[in-house]
A = this chain, B = another copy of it.
């Protein structure tokens, strides 16, 4: 559950050890948008492979960013949601969305704040 061996005590480096890849923040984006099921993440337009999705969800749970719970709306199924620690990543996502919209042409917004 803790860090195995960090590259340095720098907060940037340590944060990137957790979210520094092409997929993790996309899953967090989806969670912030209200998605909660494995298949919902899978259906996102980027097309994440199921083994990577599975791996990232497990990593996020390990790091206390996401928690797994039994879905009430869809009984018997698993679901995922952000913890407080995970929700605290919203400003990071917001900054990334802003930069993308302003500096990469052809991007269009889709992240708002659906709920806390």
Contact = CB atoms under 8 A, between A and B. Distances in A.
A77 interface: no
A61 interface: no
A91 B26 CA distance: 19
Interface residues of A, number: 47
Number of copies: 2
Given A7-B46, A45-B7, A15 B96 contact: yes
Nearest to A91: B95
A12 B104 CA distance: 10
Given A11-B108, A108-B11, A20 B22 contact: yes
Interface of A: 3, 6-18, 20-22, 25-26, 29, 44-47, 85, 88-89, 91-104, 106-111
